[in-house]
A and B are shown apart, each in its own frame.
Chain A
Amino acid sequence: MPGTRLERWGLALALALAPAPAAAQVSEAAVKAAYLYKMAAFVTWPPNAFASGSSPFRICVLNRTDVAGPLSELAHGAQAWGRPVVISVIGGSQEASQCQILFLGDGHAALGDSAPVLTVTELGASSPGVVEFTVQQSHVRFVIHRSQADARRLQISSKLLAVAAAVVP
């Protein structure tokens, strides 16, 4: 019976993967850093998001060095959308509009509602970004706010929507 066999193999797989000690060792901040980096591939920015053709692809982190550290490692020498990826740690909101991805953590930045910036916030932030991190069964997941993405003219890949913990219209 295929169903039974599938379940058996599925179970075997789950057993093989579940207790992976490496997963436990990876910090939550590192996972988030990786997600931030990878999101670049699943979102399309409008052309006016970049100051010029030679502008880099900027991923900014507000006040969160724990995330900025692993992110810098990941992005070293990497490219996104044909541009070199640059990681910036910003302290104020004046540079926020220069970023393509902005991880706000729990914080807040003075950014226009229509600025083409993929804002990412932690769960419980005073004002959630386009992407909002969450944790389900000790896995880092995320919620996507469609209305915000639309306002910022960001096209989010259906593949990304498919793996989101929730999509808020």
Chain B
Amino acid sequence: MAVRTSLRRFELPFLGKAWIAAVFAVVLLLLGVALALSNERSVANEQARRATVQAEILAGSVSAALAFDDQPTAQEYVKALHASPEIEAAGIYDQNGALFAGFADSGGPLPKHGAPHDPRVEKGRLSVAVPVAQGNLHLGTVYVRTIVEPWTRRASRYVAIGIILTLAALLIAVLGSAYSAASAAYNSLQRETDARERAETALRQAQKMEAMGQLTGGVAHDFNNLLMAASSGVELLQRSDDPKRRARLVQGIKDALDRGAKLTQQLLTFARRTQVKPEVIDVGVRLQGIRDLLDRSLREDVHVDFMLQDDLWPIEVDPAQFDIAIVNIAVNARDAMPRGGEIDIEAKNLPGGLEGEDAVEIRVVDHGTGMQPDTVEKAFEPFFTTKGVGRGTGLGLSQVYGFARAAGGMAYIESTMGEGTTVCLVLPRCMRSATQEARRAAAKMPDLKNEKLLVVEDDDQIADMLQQMVSELGGRAIRASTAEEGLRLFEKESPDGIISDMVMPGEWDGLELVRQVRRRNADVPVLLMTGYSSAAAQAREEGYTLLEKPFNLEQLARGLSDVFGARA
């Protein structure tokens, strides 16, 4: 139905444009006809004028011959007119109207009697008669008759012009319709491209969700474990008075919570709906970054072993897609080992390994069931799956393949039944070095020197925690629970810096608050906090520093030193 509607929409402008061309063609033809008619009239007028002038010239020169009865001279003058091909007869008449001299080639003899008359057309012939005079003397009449070009000959001339005009009109029509056809084709191509782009975006999202789905079970399990660790730790903490034991328990709880925070953060990064945005990454650092995620999301009986070459070359890929690809391969490896086992993730430099260019090779090796050769062939096809209903969508490995191709590299599978499978990614080396951000050493703790920080946060618990963290870092905190209150406090207390949540109840969000603050004082350090918010991208675009929740003291310290450092 949608297709039909769009088709109809496609035809209407096409027809409209063709009509315009047709109208132009018709107008051109009408113009041609009008031009021919006006030309015809002016030609007739011109001919009459020419005949009259010829007659007047003859009348002027023949006056003496008429006056003094010199017939030979008069005849000589008339003969001069004979040279003009269109003049078929000319006569000189004396004052009594009697013929004095003249000739008539065709179209009948000269009139017997001569008298002046205006140009007139009779039987396809134009005749005119003008008086001959000298001073006051009326001496006679000169008569001139010319052939008017026959209608048929004129028509044939106009037919030639008409053919040219028609061809021109036809050309316009053809060009017009060709143009509209081309523009229709272009529009349809444009729509096709748009649809394809949308489909590709949807496919990427689906692939991501597939990976997410695969992960969720493991993550939930892991979360359950760490929640249990934390809650039992708290329970034990309440019962114990031994400071050593209490310290160990607190550390245990903290570790469990840290892990939870890390997991959530990774999942959020994973699920974020992002455009494909290539960055230069260090494969080793990136793989280490998802190690925990893999360790915990696979099964307990599956162990991931990393074998990474030192000094791996950087590659330029979309980091999120890279993570997803590795997770997808690992999940497949896990499923190939129902009784558990080891997954080896290896990475090494491959000089000249990709069509003669340097590349980095990442191999994910399992020691599972292996695949049949025909399964290997189809493994990269979208929606191809060997898993049971509800367990897989068949999008995982297709994402891997799509990712590798998009990055300018390739992906392939080696598999032996009963021995295991190796999925291999070969990605081109990037000559720029990886962003240093990932390796950046932890910033040293900033000394806030009793500086006053405005904390804007609607959640009481988090606000309380933040205030404590700020005092831990040596500063003083004042709190506002809405953006509006924050601005009032800012104006009243003039704090040295602001830490604000992004999403808050009230008319303004955190972004609007910091905009207002910046309008009043462009230099004040501003740190924004966010969980998962679409406003985060906007805030980044406007150049604000963002701290992703959940964060620990060290991360807060780093964020604060960033914004205070920028001020200094």
Chains A and B are bound partners: yes
Main secondary structure on B side of the interface with A: mixed
- A80 near B135 with CB under 8 A, answer yes
What is the CB-to-nearest-CB distance from B90 to chain A, in angstroms, rounded to a whole number? 11
- A19-37 CB contact bits vs B (8 Å, 1 = yes)? 0000000000001000100
The answer to whether B136 and A159 have CB atoms under 8 Å apart is: no
In chain B between 426 and 464, which residues have their CB closer than 8 angstroms to a CB of chain A?
A: none
Q: Min CB distance, B64 to chain A, in Å? A: 4
Of B64, B70, B134, B136, which is in contact with the most chain A CB atoms at under 10 Å from its CB? B64
B295 to nearest A CB, angstroms? Answer: 118
A13 within 8 A of B: yes
Residues of the B chain whose Cβ atoms lie less than 8 Å from the Cβ of A10: 75, 103
Contact string against B for A residues 145-169, beta-carbon threshold 8 Å, 1 for contact and 0 otherwise: 0000000000001011011000000
Nearest CB in chain B to that of A7: its residue: B103
List residues of A (40-75) whose CB comes within 8 Å of B's CBs.
Answer: 40-42
- In the assembled complex, the CB of B70 is this many whole angstroms from the nearest CB of chain A, namely 4
Residues in A neighbouring B102, C-beta threshold 8 A = 9, 13
Quote the shortest CB–CB distance from A20 to chain B (angstroms).
8
| Complex interface: chain A residues within 8 A of B68 (CB) | 35, 38, 141-142, 160, 163
A162–B135 contact, CB under 8 A?
no
- Tell me the minimal C-beta distance from A93 to chain B in angstroms: 28
Enumerate chain B residues within 8 angstroms of A159, measured Cβ to Cβ. 61, 63-65, 134
> Do A162 and B69 have beta carbons less than 8 Å apart?
no
- CB pair B135 A40 closer than 8 Å: yes
Q: A9-B103, A79-B136 are in contact. Are A163 and B82 (CB under 8 A)?
A: no
> How far apart are the CA atoms of A42 and B67 in the complex, in Å?
10
In the complex, the answer to whether A42 meets B134 with C-beta atoms within 8 Å is: yes
**Majority SS of interface residues in chain A?**
helix
A contact residues around B135 at 8 Å (CB): 40-41, 80-81
Q: Closest residue to A12 on the B side, CB-wise?
A: B109
Q: How far is the CB of B130 from chain A (nearest CB, A)?
A: 17
Taking the closest CB of chain B, its distance from the CB of A77, in whole angstroms, is 11
Pick the residue among B67, B73, B82, B100 that contacts A38 (CB under 8 A).
B67
- Is B137 interfacial (CB-CB < 8 Å)? yes
Which A residues are CB-close (under 8 A) to B71?
Answer: 17
Question: Is B11 interfacial (CB-CB < 8 Å)?
Answer: no
Do A78 and B136 touch across chains, with their CB atoms under 8 A apart?
yes
Asked if B136 and A80 make an inter-chain contact with CB atoms under 8 angstroms apart, the answer reads yes
Contact of B65 among A2, A78, A79, A163 (CB under 8 A): A163
Most chain B CB within a 10 A radius of its CB, from A5, A6, A38, A140: A38
Cβ A16 vs Cβ B82 within 8 A: no
Q: Kindly provide the distance from the CB of A70 to the nearest chain B CB, expressed in whole angstroms.
A: 15
Of B63, B65, B67, B101, which is within 8 A of A13 by CB? B101
Contacts of B64 in A (CB 8 A): 42, 157, 159-160, 162-163
In Å, the complex CA distance between A81 and B69 comes to 22
Interface status of B491 (Cβ within 8 A of chain A): no
Known: A79-B136, A80-B136. 9 other contacts (CB 8 A): A2-B105, A5-B105, A6-B79, A13-B103, A17-B100, A38-B134, A159-B64, A159-B134, A163-B65
Question: Can you list 5 pairs linking A and B with CB atoms under 8 Å apart?
Answer: A10-B103, A38-B134, A142-B68, A163-B68, A163-B70
Give A contacts to B, CB under 8 Å. 2, 5-6, 9-10, 13, 16-17, 31, 35, 38, 40-42, 78-81, 139-142, 157, 159-160, 162-163
Q: Top 6 nearest A-B pairs by Cβ distance?
A: A159-B64, A41-B135, A41-B134, A163-B70, A38-B67, A163-B64
